[in-house]
């Protein structure tokens, strides 16, 4: 595949149409790409990032198509193996190449890939590297997605190579896209699962790149943005403290008692014009719940009581929400029990990272009765008041 971002920049990455899970954890329903870029300057040649080792053949073919016979620099922006995993192959094929990265990333590459010490050329924040007519500037941008992540700015053509930052897990042949809005939804899904836990640091990284004049953003997953404004604006919104008045109800129900409570609450909220998203957890992609958590104001977790505690599906949803640290403002727990248990307390103990205000939980004994529906009315009213006033 020959794809040119400009006269000096060639795409040499790989499209992974088949992949459906990442890190054995994150659903990627649209596949993904591993973007790698060959920059051929008048004096030196550099490769920015490599590809997942499963796709090294694609990288090999694309480099062969570009007729490159010599690589001086392999810029490693992030040590996770979907970008770094083919560096050992590259160093065998191009033994003259130096791995250009920062001190922290070097440590990870030695730990993960046993790359020899003498292969590294270290850079610090704001350092530049000349390829002749191409100047690369490196900016350390920690936690997009690991602590060592950095981005590379090609000064003359104003291209930002951003690695995971601004990425999207989507396999597409529309790699240099004219329709950035098509990719905002997969980019939000990506943000939810990769970036959301580091939202506050991402605000700082956005401020750090703000002074750059950026004509094109070239991430290492998904489309390359000829118009960087939509994805940058979306990131500013997602990373901000602003929420949308929406209630996510994530539930599991064994014999419909909890489901009756969920339907009652959802219908009442909708009748009062509050946006609601209901997820029956055993039938849902938890990645979609995570995506809604990027900007929703409110969440209700609903569970029956199993073996004295919450249902494992609800436990997983609570654990994940806690790990992803969304900017939820209000949260509650509802559900039912038959002979006692600690479902509500167990879920509350699983979400210490959520700084949301807890709306009084409602626990029904068996199927919900009149007094339970009255308590649910109060819960709905509380969510209405909070969301109207936010
Ligand atoms: Fe795409 Fe964090 O690796």
Residue 233 neighbours by CB distance under 10 Å: 11
DSSP annotation of 191: I
Confidence tier at 390 by pLDDT (50, 70, 90): low
Mark whether 51 and 199 lie in a shared domain: yes
Distance 353 CA to ligand 1 centre (A): 24
Q: For 226-274, what is each residue's pLDDT tens digit?
A: 999 999 999 999 999 999 999 999 999 999 999 999 999 999 999 999 9
pLDDT at 2 over 80: no
User: For residue 141, is it within any domain?
Assistant: yes
Whether residue 49 contacts residue 83, with contact meaning beta carbons closer than 8 Å, is answered with yes
Whether residue 121 contacts residue 102, with contact meaning beta carbons closer than 8 Å, is answered with no
Confidence tier at 339 by pLDDT (50, 70, 90): confident
State which of 204, 239, 274 marks the end of a domain: 239
Partners of 299 in beta bridges = 248, 331
Mark whether 192 and 61 lie in a shared domain: yes
pLDDT at 291 over 80: yes
CB burial readout 101-127, b (16+ within 10 A) else e: bbebbbebbeeebebeeebbeebeeee
Mark whether 71 and 110 lie in a shared domain: yes
At 147, give phi and psi (nearest 5°).
-70, -15
Pocket of ligand 1 (CB under 6 A): 78, 80, 82-83, 145, 164, 221
Mark whether 269 and 288 lie in a shared domain: yes
User: For residue 81, is it within any domain?
Assistant: yes
How far, in Å, are 141, 219, 262, 297 from residue 256 at the CA level? Answer: 48, 45, 10, 27
Locate 363 and state its tokens: 């626990």
Mark whether 50 and 178 lie in a shared domain: yes
CB burial readout 251-285, b (16+ within 10 A) else e: bbbeeebbbbbbebbbebbeeeebbbbbbebeebe
Helix (H, G, I), strand (E, B) or coil at 382: helix
Mark whether 39 and 157 lie in a shared domain: yes
User: For residue 207, is it within any domain?
Assistant: yes
DSSP annotation of 174: -
How deeply is 18 buried, as exposed, middle or buried, from its count of CB atoms within 10 A (0-12, 13-18, 19+)?
A: exposed
Whether residue 85 contacts residue 51, with contact meaning beta carbons closer than 8 Å, is answered with yes
Mark whether 60 and 91 lie in a shared domain: yes
CATH of residue 368: 3.40.50.360
CA distance 164 to 167: 5
DSSP letters, 249-277, are EEE--SSSHHHHHHHHHHHHHHHTT-EEE
Mark whether 146 and 192 lie in a shared domain: yes
Lowest average pLDDT, out of 67-71, 166-170, 368-372, goes to 67-71
pLDDT at 364 over 90: yes
User: For residue 390, is it within any domain?
Assistant: no
| pLDDT at position 67 | 87
Distance 238 CA to ligand 1 centre (A): 19
Helix residue spans in the chain (DSSP H): 56-65, 81-84, 87-93, 103-113, 184-190, 199-209, 229-239, 257-271, 286-293, 312-324, 343-350, 370-389
For the chain, the domain total comes to 2
Centroid of chain to Cα 47? 24
State which of 218, 239, 260 marks the end of a domain: 239
Helix (H, G, I), strand (E, B) or coil at 172: coil
pLDDT at 22 over 90: no
pLDDT at 303 over 90: yes
State which of 200, 216, 239 marks the end of a domain: 239
| pLDDT at position 26 | 82
Mark whether 91 and 159 lie in a shared domain: yes
Specify the residue with its C-alpha closest to ligand 1, atom 3.
80
Confidence tier at 104 by pLDDT (50, 70, 90): very high
SS3 content of the chain, % helix, strand, coil (to 5): 35, 25, 35
Specify the residue with its C-alpha closest to ligand 1, atom 1.
164
**Global pTM?**
0.94
CATH of residue 126: 3.60.15.10
User: For residue 315, is it within any domain?
Assistant: yes
Mark whether 227 and 264 lie in a shared domain: no
Mean pLDDT of 21-49: 94
Distance 82 CA to ligand 1 centre (A): 6
Mark whether 185 and 70 lie in a shared domain: yes
Output the CA angle 114-116-119, nearest 5 degrees. Answer: 130
DSSP letters, 320-342, are HHHHH-----EEEEEEEESS---
Mark whether 112 and 142 lie in a shared domain: yes
| pLDDT at position 24 | 79
CB burial readout 157-177, b (16+ within 10 A) else e: bebbbbbbbbbbbbbbeebeb
Range of the domain at 122: 3-239
- The overall average pLDDT reported for the chain is 96
Please report, rounded to a whole number, the percentage of residues in the chain having pLDDT higher than 90.
Answer: 95
Mean pLDDT of 6-11: 97
pLDDT at 289 over 70: yes
Atom of ligand 1 nearest to the CA of 145: 2
Distance 191 CA to ligand 1 centre (A): 12
């Amino acid at each position: 595949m020959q794809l040119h971002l400009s006269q000096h920049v060639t795409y040499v990455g790989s499209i992974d149409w088949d992949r459906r899970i990442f890190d054995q954890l994150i659903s990627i329903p649209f596949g993904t790409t591993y973007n790698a870029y060959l920059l051929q300057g008048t004096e030196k040649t550099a490769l920015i990032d490599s590809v997942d080792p499963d796709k090294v053949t694609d990288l090999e073919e694309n480099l062969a198509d570009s007729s490159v016979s010599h690589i001086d620099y392999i810029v490693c922006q992030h040590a996770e193996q979907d970008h770094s995993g083919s560096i050992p192959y590259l160093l065998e094929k191009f033994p003259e190449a130096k791995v250009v990265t920062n001190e922290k990333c070097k440590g990870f590459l030695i730990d993960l890939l046993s790359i020899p010490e003498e292969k590294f050329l270290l850079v610090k924040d704001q350092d530049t590297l000349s390829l002749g007519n191409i100047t690369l500037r490196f900016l350390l941008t920690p936690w997009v997605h690991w602590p060592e992540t950095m981005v590379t700015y090609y000064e003359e053509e104003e291209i930002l190579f951003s690695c995971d930052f601004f990425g999207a897990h989507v396999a597409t042949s529309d790699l240099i896209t004219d329709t950035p809005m098509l990719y905002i939804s997969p980019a939000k899904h990506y943000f939810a699962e990769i970036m959301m836990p580091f939202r506050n640091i991402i605000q700082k990284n956005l401020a750090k790149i703000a002074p750059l004049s950026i004509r094109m953003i070239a991430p290492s997953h998904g489309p390359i943005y000829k118009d960087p404004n939509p994805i940058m604006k979306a990131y500013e919104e997602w990373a901000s403290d602003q929420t949308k008045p929406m209630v996510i109800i994530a539930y599991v129900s064994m014999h419909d008692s909890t489901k009756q409570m969920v339907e009652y609450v959802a219908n009442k909220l909708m009748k009062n014009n509050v946006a609601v998203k209901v997820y029956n957890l055993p039938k849902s992609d938890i990645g979609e719940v995570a995506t809604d958590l990027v900007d929703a104001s409110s969440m209700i977790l609903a569970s029956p009581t199993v073996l004295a505690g919450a249902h494992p599906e609800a436990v997983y949803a609570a654990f994940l929400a806690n790990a992803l640290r969304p900017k939820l403002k209000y949260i509650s727990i509802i559900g039912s029990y038959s002979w006692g248990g600690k479902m509500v307390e167990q879920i509350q103990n699983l979400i210490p990272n959520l700084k949301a205000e807890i709306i009084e939980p409602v626990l029904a004994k068996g199927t919900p009765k009149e007094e339970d529906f009255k308590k649910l009315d109060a819960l709905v009213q509380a969510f209405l008041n909070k969301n109207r006033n936010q």
